[in-house]
Structure 1
Amino acid sequence: MENLSHPLFAEERRKEILELLERQNKVLVPELCELFNVSPATIRTDLRILDSEGVLKRTHGGAVNLSKAAYEPTSDLKLSQKSEEKKRIAEYAIQLIENSDTIALDTGTTTLELAKLLPSKHGLTVITNDITIAIYLEQNSDANVIVLGGPLRRGFNCTAGSLAVKMMEPFNVDKAFLASNAFSFEAGFSTPSIEQAEVKQAMIRSASEVNMLIDSSKFDCIAFYRFASLDDIHQLVTDNSLSAEDRDTLRTCHETLKLAIV
């Protein structure tokens, strides 16, 4: 974004912020400071006012467009986004899994990258609602694969809803590996689909250890439905593009949380 050559009145600046949010999913305070040549305090005031008017949602480091909170790209579109970062996250996560573990594996492109590494482990029991993951493991590993039933989400290759939740409830697993569409310090982990959120929550309840696999582009974002907070997970694995501010906040505000940056 180029720096504006002339200062704007507050009302003009806030209008520009909203127009910028129409073109992209989120805005960050440092970027807005540079764009408008104003202080962080000024931008935070703008965002607080716009949030109170119900036209955007403030996050820890900026704001998101409320109209995009319910949007979710299909699995095919997600595969091309942050692919190298997702592979690094998966390469770290596979080290957390031991032979003969029972694991719950959430649907998602990052968890799919982890699934591709699971054939290196033996005697696993894997519970998943992701059809692509289930087929891959059936064809390439000796894992005992349990697929959660229920309606298929068109375009996402997974099951969701009350049937999947009910099937998950009796299981006790060693570790759960979850994905998330969005994370903010105010709203926690969130996803556009209520039905998908309920499956994630069931996996969290079933697990002795909960690991969240989320690339840095999901930070300071908010989706439609919150399914977990930082207090619900044991370890967060993300990539090294995470901002220094977010790293510091995670480390200082949640001392019991394990943070892995890869």
Structure 2
Amino acid sequence: MAIFNKTMKETHEEISLRHSEDNVSLPQICRQERIVEMVQNKGFISTDELVSVFQVTPQTIRRDLNELDRQGLVLRHHGGASLMASSTENTDYQQRKQQLNEEKQAIAKRLATRIPDGASLFINIGTTTEAVAHHLLGHSRLKVITNNLHVAAILLKKSDFTVIIAGGEVRNRDGGIVSQATRDFINQFYVDYAIIGISGINTDGALLDYDYQEVRVAQAMTANAKHTLLAADHSKFGRNAMVRMGNLKHIDALFTDRNPPDLLTQYIQESHTELVVC
């Protein structure tokens, strides 16, 4: 906590110094300091929420977010802002579980309606795919192969489900199983649906993630499924990561909580990928 407070103090001083140089009013400085705090606490915050909290116009908030993005203090998104993203390292698992939970639940609930009883599934690593697993508990006779220990634990609550855990090395940080052995295991199956999460979606349709081994397992899942359903909240649009998993044109449907930016929406339409806004 002391380290966090020190970091926040340094952030406040940094904002104040920069704004004093730019001759920006004190109320704006205070508002922007508070915005940085809120983003650090929540991971992502929407423009609408900031408008409600500060009782200012959307244009004012957009200017604040653009300025904070320019300073490298937050990452500006369509509709809000998030923590600065690294192209080499994902956000902590526990933090990701708390971020945009309502949006993830809406996505998961809608996606689960697409899965018929008795279907066979792959489900990969991710907090959104874990939310999907919860919403699949109302189904019957599902056969699920997963490299996510959390997903397996959720689905084991149903006695009529068959749950198969892919072999390989277990990651302590998030319960994911990733290795060459995992890929070899996945390649032995051919299922109805692959339910996939991803860390970033570029405007050219590139699906991006952080871990090469994890990506290779996801690629094996999509290659061995009749249909691939991608679950990704709006904070993934434009988010950078260094490992390419694939492209949206090879995905049957993208389930998300907001319309993507215009360039990405155009690409989705040209790729004939179904867009489901939940």
TM-score where L is the length of structure 2:
0.69
Counterpart pick for 1:227 among 245, 263, 270: 245
Q: Does 1:145 align with 2:155?
A: no
Match in the other structure for 1:125: 143
1:87 maps to which residue?
105
Aligned to 2:215: 197
Q: Give distance in 2, aligned partners of 1:246 and 1:82.
A: 23
CA distance in 1 between counterparts of 2:85 and 2:108 reads 31
Q: Does 1:260 align with 2:276?
A: yes
Whole-Å Cα distance in 2 between the matches of residues 33 and 76 of structure 1? 28
Gaps of 5+ in 1: 7-22, 37-58
Give the CA deviation at 1:244: 5.2
Please list the CA deviations of residues 103-152 of structure 1 after superposition, one character each: whole Å capped at 9, or x if unmatched: 10111111111111222111110000000111121134521001011011
Q: Which residue of structure 2 aligns with residue 155 of structure 1?
A: 173
136-145 vs 199-208, which moves further: 136-145
Whether contact under 8 Å (2:193, 2:227) holds in the other structure is: yes
Match of 2:25 in 1: none
SS at the partner of 1:227? Answer: strand
- 1:2-21 correspondence runs (5 A): none
1:172-251 to structure 2, matched below 5 A, reads 172-186=190-204, 188-240=206-258, 242-243=259-260, 245-246=262-263, 248-251=265-268
Equivalent residue in structure 2 for 1:74, among 88, 92, 98: 92
> What is the alpha-carbon distance in structure 2 between the residues aligned to residue 108 and residue 123 of structure 1?
23
1:167, 1:34 → 2: CA distance?
Answer: 45
CA apart distance, 1:217: 0.3
Question: Which amino acid is the alignment partner of residue 261 of structure 1?
Answer: V
Contact 1:126 1:146 in 2 (8 A): yes
Verify the 8 A CA contact 2:249 2:268 in the aligned structure 1. no
* RMSD of aligned Cα (Å): 3.4
| TM-score of the pair, normalised by structure 1 | 0.73
User: Hey, which of these two has a bigger chunk of helix by percent?
Assistant: 2
**SS state of the match for residue 119, structure 1?**
helix
Kept after mapping to 2: 8 A contact 1:119/1:142: no
Aligned-partner residue type, residue 83 of structure 1: N
Contact 1:126–1:145 (Cα < 8 Å) also in 2: yes
- Provide the C-alpha distance between the structure 1 equivalents of 2:85 and 2:93, rounded to a whole number of angstroms: 21
CA contact under 8 A between 1:187 and 1:226: conserved in structure 2? no
* Contact 1:181–1:218, Cα closer than 8 Å, also in 2: yes
- Provide the secondary structure at the position in 1 that maps to 2:106: helix
Check 1:99–1:34 CA distance in 2 against 1; reply closer, same or farther (3 A cut). closer
Task: Find the aligned partners of 1:83 and 1:115 in 2 and give their Cα distance.
Answer: 14
Change (3 A) 1:160 1:251: closer
Q: Offset of 1:34 from its aligned partner? A: 8.7
| One-letter code aligned to 1:249 | Q
Q: Answer whether contact 2:191 2:226 (CA < 8 A) is retained.
A: yes
State the alpha-carbon separation in 2 of the partners of residues 252 and 260 from structure 1.
Answer: 12
Shift of 1:68: 1.3
Instruction: Name stretches of at least 5 consecutive residues in structure 2 with no aligned partner.
Output: 1-14, 23-38, 44-58, 68-76
Question: Measured at CA, do residues 213 and 67 of structure 1 come closer, stay the same or move farther in structure 2, by a change above 3 Å?
Answer: closer
Give the superposition deviation at 1:81. 0.6
Residues 193 and 226 in structure 2, CA contact (< 8 A), matched pair in contact too: yes
- Aligned-pair CA distance for 1:187: 6.3
Q: Percent identity?
A: 24
Query: Per-residue deviation at 1:74?
Result: 2.9
Correspondence for 1:44? none
Are the aligned partners of 1:119 and 1:141 in contact in 2 as well (CA < 8 Å)? no
C-alpha separation in 2, matches of 1:79 and 1:167: 27
- Residue 41 of structure 1 corresponds to none
User: 1:32–1:196: structure 2 CA closer, same or farther, 3 Å change rule?
Assistant: farther
Which residue matches 1:20?
none
